[in-house]
Structure 1
Amino acid sequence: MPRRSYDQYCAVARALDAVGERWSLLIVRELLHGPRRYTDLHADLPGVSTDILASRLKQLEGEDLVERRRLERPANATVYQLTRRGAELRPVVEALAGWGLDALGEPRPTDAVRTHWFTERGPSGEAAARTPETAALPGA
């Protein structure tokens, strides 16, 4: 399947060409926490099919945002990790998280929840965990 493009000479359009496909930024969100095995990525991205996950990882590799690395023994596993360029997406993901925070509301019965998904920046600039339990607290 050929990659879609906006075919616009615009930095926003080019950025979306790289990370605008469904699941791409969520994969980046997961990898911002460090290298992950494919099975761990799949487990923490409920709803993504294995075909789509593999396809998005390949696309992100092609954009030089993600790289595969083979761990030495005893782990002897392959992990995916962000490249330097991929790690530069951290402020983008954090900005989207901050922007979406007001619309988050209460979890729906069908929503998957992972504690590491709920983060925001506190007044000191440090990341503070925001879970469904703490989100309801005053000042959270």
Structure 2
Amino acid sequence: MRKTILLLFVAFLVIGTSLIWYLNQENTTGSETIEWLHFTIILIVVAFALFVAIQRYRSLQRGQPAEDEMSKKLLQKTAALSYYISLYWWVALLFIKDRVEFDTEQLMGSGILGMALIFAVVAVFLHFKGLGDE
């Protein structure tokens, strides 16, 4: 139960600080679109965290353990698959950086947010598809 409450607290903290960050940005030419995209990705990742928190809460309500063998295996497969996809994401970002002018901060932010988004998408995909060997 503590992990679920902590996850919800961190999710709302991220939403609050991201909103403050987004509202205090200086609008320079061309960076407004990237910042808006970053903020949208942050909201998607927080929505994923809320999805996980709701699942854990429902499991606790049914009397099931929060982490069992199936959820650990799902997390391990999610981490492995998202790691490989993230490697290609960084290669694509470096390819784009050579052709388009990017600030270093925007490149790093896009890379990290992309990795988080890839993890969330793979986790949701595997959650609904299943592991295939259960």
TM-score where L is the length of structure 1: 0.29
TM-score where L is the length of structure 2: 0.30
- Higher strand proportion (structure 1 or 2): 1
Larger RCO, structure (CA 8 Å, separation 6 or more): 2
Q: Which structure has the bigger radius of gyration?
A: 2
- Higher helix proportion (structure 1 or 2): 2
